[in-house]
Amino acid sequence: MQDVLKALGMSDSNRGGFSGEWTGSGKIQAVVSPIDGAKLADVANVTPAEFEAVLARCHAAFASWKLVPAPKRGEVVRALGDELRKHKEALGTLVSLEMGKALREGLGEVQEMIDICDFAVGLSRQLYGLTMPSERRQHRLQEQWHPLGVVGVITAFNFPVAVWSWNTALALVCGDTVLWKPSSKTPLTAIACTRIAEKVLRDFGYDPAICSLAIGKGSEIGDLINTDPRVALVSYTGSVPGGRHVGRLVQERFGRHILELGGNGAVIVSEKGDLEIALRSIYFGAIGTSGQRCTSTRRVIVHESIYPAFRDRLLDLYRKTPIGDPRMDGNLMGPLVDRAAVETMLAAIETVKVQGGKVLFGGEKLPNAGGCYITPCLVEVPGNLPIVKEETFAPVLYLMAYRTIEEAIALQNGVSQGLSSAIITNDQRESELFLSAAGSDCGLANVNTGTSGAEIGGAFGGEKETGGGRESGSDAWKAYMRRQTSAINFSGQVELAQGITLEL
Ligand code: NAD
């Protein structure tokens, strides 16, 4: 642990606030690894007064950062990506230690950060506006995009570094400054990332407060972010109830928000699909990151003709799941993030039994020092029972049968979340129907690949209670800028739109 902290410029005791200088004299939090319950390091939270100073500096930094040409801002993001390459091993290991995901997934998460930096460097030369034909003679109509301000980035524990980078790489090239409030479950990785950004900004001679940090309780520091008009955009990743609260507060002051909330991913397995692809995609989607991805596969909807055989094959895989220390290569599943998550999973299993589900396997706590290991659970259900409609953030997979493709799509869409979905089929009519307006109602709809593991190139996000936000690739950058439309008259005369005449 000491080597990892040292490689990232950290120590046993760290301060949780940054805006050009490190601050934090609030509550000291001992960060414990879910892998074995061992203490990793201490973090001092920021007080509300320290938060005020952090925000004031981050806001002040915007005044000069927004004037730096976008391609020059892109150079900073290129250097950020290079630093992340250098620190990939250490940062990926810290992600695994602090959050409990498999080491290869921790390294994959850092790779995702590098990828979004590369994407954003190109983007820094492509913040395109439009020109439109004007209805008036010798007039020009154009749209351009300007920096927005401070982006408050509030992140969930399960992707402790990638979500910050999705937001930060884009915000930086867009000319915004960033104030990050990470999950209190993963503060160390946030300090590590902020140190990396600090070094890069200092190397270039820019104000390091451009990437600020404030670690503290969501109900305290989070609410200060939600309610402060200096924060132009709040990009919030977390649960649906949390997003509902954040959305209300930010909307009240007419701030902008990006809401990336809970999912309830489903895979439809057609009798015309490749069952090996289905098994692998579903198994990884359900147990990867111990079922703690917003895009995790939580429901499988299988054609009745292949249902018994498919269920038995999946059950076989579940029985053999290697569970243990996520740093060991052979283990496919590590711990849940904390004991509370284990209790939530056990409670959901009890509820589904009462509601008519049949547990086929799993839900057994494993003896371990940290107390966070549990076997993945496979449950047979007659359809979307009330508990199935909820997002239980744990490796519980509900299995149900369907008769017609229309029925399968209705089951897939029959929940309040709308993030990720997939169909496994080799029938083009089925896959096109699934992708059509009559098909999946989710922000992500895949064919012959699972619900999780999105690439950074596409816009990421979901519909309905998932919040409607988009971040990462495609044109998601537009949420981080303000649009300005201009009419430019070079006629030397006054001509009004809509043919209105003005006789003086
Ligand atoms: P959470 O809702 O408990 O916490 C998320 C963040 O909100 C944390 O940083 C927390 O401190 C903060 N917070 C708490 N109260 C707040 C307040 N009053 N104001 C502002 N912020 C506040 O979520 P979690 O358990 O960390 O993460 C799991 C959830 O996140 C799941 O529902 C998962 O689906 C969702 N998630 C969604 C996406 C996505 O892109 N859609 C990605 C990852 C996780």
421 in the same domain as 405: yes
Is the CB of 183 inside a 6 Å radius of any atom of ligand 1? Answer: yes
Q: For tokens 């983007």, what's the residue? A: 123
Q: Can you tell me which atom of ligand 1 is nearest the CA of 249?
A: 19
Amino acid at 379: V
CB of residue 74 inside a 6 A radius of ligand 1: no
Atom of ligand 1 nearest to the CA of 240: 32
User: Which of 186, 227, 259, 261, when mutated, tests ligand 1's pocket best, judged by the most ligand atoms within 8 Å of its CB?
Assistant: 261
Domain membership flag for residue 50: yes
Catalytic residues: 260, 294
If one residue of 294, 343, 415, 456 were mutated to test the ligand 1 pocket, choosing by the most ligand atoms within 8 A of its CB, it would be 294
Indicate the pairing of strand 417-418 with strand 463-464.
antiparallel
Taking the centre of ligand 1 as the mean of its atom positions, its distance from the CA of residue 466, in whole angstroms, is: 12
CB of 167 shorter than 6 A to ligand 1: no
Are both 402 and 340 inside the same structural domain?
A: yes
Tokens of 364: 């057994």
Q: Provide the whole-model pTM.
A: 0.97
278 and 251 in a single domain? The answer is: no
Closest alpha carbon to 258 in 411, 449, 472, 94: 472
Ligand 1 near 83 CB (within 6 A): no
Angle at 462 between CA 460 and CA 465, to 5 degrees: 150
Whether 490 maps to a domain, the answer reads: no
Indicate whether 256 and 271 sit together in one domain: no
In a domain, 328, yes or no: yes
Residue range of the domain that includes 89: 2-261+467-484
- Of 269, 288, 289, nearest to 277 by C-alpha is 269
Question: Is any ligand 1 atom within 6 A of the Cβ of residue 391?
Answer: yes
- Spatial neighbors of 42 by CB under 8 A, at least 6 apart, are 12, 13, 14, 28, 29, 30, 31
Atom 20 (ligand 1): residue with closest C-alpha? 222
Beta partners for 22?
18
Q: Are 19 and 53 in contact (CB under 8 A)?
A: yes
> What is the distance in A from the centroid of ligand 1 to the CA of 367?
28
- Residue 184 CB less than 6 A away from ligand 1: yes
Ligand 1 centroid distance, CA of 163 (Å): 11
Residues 204 and 319 in one domain: no
Query: Do 251 and 130 share a domain, yes or no?
Result: yes
Per-residue pLDDT of the chain (504 residues; tens, 9 = 90+): 889 999 999 999 999 999 999 999 999 999 999 999 999 999 999 999 999 999 999 999 999 999 999 999 999 999 999 999 999 999 999 999 999 999 999 999 999 999 999 999 999 999 999 999 999 999 999 999 999 999 999 999 999 999 999 999 999 999 999 999 999 999 999 999 999 999 999 999 999 999 999 999 999 999 999 999 999 999 999 999 999 999 999 999 999 999 999 999 999 999 999 999 999 999 999 999 999 999 999 999 999 999 999 999 999 999 999 999 999 989 999 999 999 999 999 999 999 999 999 999 999 999 877 789 999 999 999 999 999 999 999 999 999 999 999 999 999 999 999 999 999 999 999 999 999 999 999 999 999 999 998 899 999 999 999 999 999 999 999 999 999 999 999 999 999 999 999 888
pLDDT tens digits for 244-288? Answer: 999 999 999 999 999 999 999 999 999 999 999 999 999 999 999
Query: What is the domain-level CATH number for residue 422?
Result: 3.40.309.10
Ligand 1 atom 43: the closest Cα is on which residue? 294
Domain shared by 241 and 315, yes or no: no
pLDDT for the residue numbered 82: 98
Backbone angles phi, psi at 121, to 5 degrees: -60, -45
Q: Which DSSP string do the residues of 401-442 spell out, in sequence order? A: EESSHHHHHHHHH-SSEESEEEEE-S-HHHHHHHHSTTS--S
Tell whether 153 and 248 lie within a shared domain.
yes
Question: Which atom in ligand 1 lies closest to the alpha carbon of residue 337?
Answer: 25
Query: Is the CB–ligand 1 distance for residue 206 below 6 Å?
Result: no
Q: How many domains would you assign to the chain? A: 2
**219 and 311 inside one domain:** no
In the chain, the amino acid numbered 353 is K
The CA 109 to ligand 1 mean position distance, Å, reads: 18
State the residue for tokens 């940062």. Answer: 91
Do 360 and 376 share a domain, yes or no?
A: yes
Q: Is 214 in the pocket of ligand 1 (CB under 6 A)?
A: no
Q: Atom 9, ligand 1: which residue's CA is nearest?
A: 183
Q: State the pLDDT at residue 114.
A: 98
Q: What is the b/e burial string over 328-356, where b = at least 16 CB atoms within 10 angstroms of the residue's CB?
A: eeeebbbbbbbeebbebbbebbebbeeee
pLDDT of amino acid 401: 98
SS (HEC) of 355-375: HCCEEEECCCECCCCCCCCEC
Give strand ranges (E) for 176-270: 177-181, 211-214, 231-237, 256-260, 265-269
**What pLDDT, on a 0 to 100 scale, did the predictor assign at position 367?**
86
Cα-based torsion angle of the residue sequence 213, 215, 219, 221 in order, rounded to the nearest 10 degrees: -40
Assess if residue 459 is contained within a domain.
no
Residue 440: the pLDDT is 98
- 3 state SS of 35: coil
pLDDT in the model for residue 2: 85
418 lines ligand 1 (CB under 6 A): no
Residue found by looking up tokens 């996000």 in the block: 461
Residue 496 falls within a domain, yes or no?
A: no
| 41 lies in the same domain as 104 | yes
Asked if residue 378 is part of any domain, the answer here is yes
* Atom 22 of ligand 1, residue of closest alpha carbon: 218
Pocket test for ligand 1, best of 105, 153, 154, 163 (most atoms within 8 A of CB): 154
pLDDT by residue (tens digit) across 360-386? 999 999 987 778 999 999 999 999 999
Residue nearest to atom 28 of ligand 1 (CA): 238
Q: Tell me whether residue 501 is in a domain.
A: no
| pLDDT value, residue 368 | 77
Looking at the structure, tell me whether residues 256 and 364 fall in a common domain.
Answer: no
Asked if residue 108 belongs to a domain, the reply is yes
Q: What CATH number did the domain enclosing 97 receive?
A: 3.40.605.10
